[in-house]
Amino acid sequence: MRQDSEHARPTETHRFILGLRDAGKLVRDYTQNIDCLEEKVGLSTDLHKGAGNRSYRGVDCVLHESLRRLRCSKCSGTHSRDECSQETETLAGQGPPCPGYANISDAKTTAKKRTTTIGTLRPDVVPYDELDPRADSISAIARRDLLLRPDVLLILGTSLTTHGVKRLVKDFAKVIHKRAGKVVFVTS
């Protein structure tokens, strides 16, 4: 999937969302996509930028998951695929070792101390039965966006079957309907 996503190109919809951002009309883009096409079109997906404020834009697109990053099974730290450069192991279905844990283990071995189990890396995609380690950050950004009281909600290309997305859409739609705003649901 990751190799396919590297060759994928942004669509007119991605460019439309970028146009909304550039025109100052976009509060935020929330997506479940894992292909990182939002980044390719120029939208920021760095959650560390936070929600922003009047003088600072913050993150443009809340990207829940990414095939470009790997997450450690033990420490939940993320690493870029380039940083780990173990493509063969990953493609063979074997998780490469977490660089952070590997360094700690090497240091303990050198000091003749008991080593720790090294976490393995896997794609930074959250299965349905797991909690998203970014949930608190995403919730804080969504709460801030609700306070902005947007007047239009565009829901594009989702079936609303994932609980978290359904909850987010309901929360936003409720605020927008209270203001007599518009909720537009476009399915693919």
Residue 143 sits in a domain whose CATH number is: 3.40.50.1220
Query: Does residue 57 have a pLDDT over 60?
Result: yes
Q: Are residues 117 and 45 in the same domain?
A: no
Domain final position from 100, 124, 148? 124
Domain extent, residue 81, equals 69-124
Of 64, 79, 163, 177, which residue is the catalytic one? Answer: 64
> What is the domain count for the chain?
2
pLDDT tens-digit map of 98-151: 877 766 766 777 778 876 777 888 777 776 777 777 788 889 999 999 998 899
**Do residues 169 and 148 both lie within one domain?**
yes
- Provide the 3-class DSSP secondary structure of residue 103: helix
Is the pTM higher than 0.75? The answer reads no
Same domain, 95 and 180: no
Are 115 and 78 in the same domain?
A: yes
Active site (annotated) includes residue 64: yes
pLDDT, tens digit, 9 for 90 and up, residues 147-177: 988 999 999 988 888 888 888 999 999 999 9
Mean pLDDT of 49-78: 78
Q: What pLDDT does 20 receive?
A: 94
State whether 43 and 133 are in the same domain: yes
| Burial degree of 71 (CB within 10 A; 0-12, 13-18, 19+) | buried
The Cα 36–Cα 43 span in angstroms is 10
Same domain for 73 and 57: no
What does the block give as tokens for 98? Answer: 């977490």
Task: Give the end of a domain, one of 80, 106, 124.
Answer: 124
Q: With contact defined as beta carbons under 8 Å apart, do 185 and 155 qualify?
A: yes
Whether 44 and 78 share a structural domain: no
Give the residue, 2 or 39, on which the prediction is more confident.
39
Query: Are 139 and 181 in the same domain?
Result: yes
Coil, strand or helix: which one is 107? helix
If asked whether residues 161 and 182 sit together in one domain, one would say yes
- Same domain for 83 and 48: no
Whether residues 83 and 105 fall in one domain: yes
Residues 118 and 152 placed together within one structural domain of the fold: no
